[in-house]
Amino acid sequence: MKQLWAPWRIEYILSPEKGECIFCEYPKKNKNDDRQNLVLYRGSTCFVMMNKYPYNGGHLLVAPYKHTSHIEELKDDELCDMFRLTRLSISCLSKVMRPEGFNTGFNMGRAAGAGIEEHLHMHIVPRWTGDSSFMAVLDEVRVIPEHLLAAYDKLHPVFNGLPL
């Protein structure tokens, strides 16, 4: 029998479904809680946070403060800020993690694979040649080699040192 230990998943498995939207609640919390909530950067209309359940190390999310699932409901300044923070995220990830490429995009609606479909957000996934190892191909298991908070501690200063 194969065993894969992922003790960090128990928090997600056992958490009660409160209907809380992390993209609405986390930015409202005190900035002192940003590390715990994985919030890297707060912009004027949008913010950047790390994905707690990443596809790859350094997987980031950019979301508007406005609670909407429809891109057409964003005002021009919100849409521009979202893409500006996407560009900033790619720049910061490039400096810290040196990926060879990126996947970016929206999953809009459950049919498109949205895990949190009620709040629009951009995924930014750094990629390296060969990062989809045999684990993902054969066993549907992802190996993330760095702890989330270690990656946060590397990225946070870079995000907050760059001019907008």
Reduce the DSSP state of residue 102 to 3 states and report it: strand
Please state, in angstroms and rounded to a whole number, the distance separating the CA atoms of residues 60 and 90: 9
Distance CA 64, CA 86 (A): 12
Q: Please identify which of the residues 59, 119, 121, 123 carries the catalytic annotation.
A: 121
Name residue 151's amino acid: A
C-alpha span between 101 and 99 (Å, rounded): 6
Distance CA 140, CA 155 (A): 28
Residue located via tokens 């270690």: 150
Active site residue 121: yes
User: Other CB atoms closer than 10 Å to residue 60's CB: what's the count?
Assistant: 30
Instruction: Sheet containing 39-42: give its strands across.
Output: 39-42, 46-50, 60-64, 122-127, 101-106
Q: Enumerate the active-site residues.
A: 121
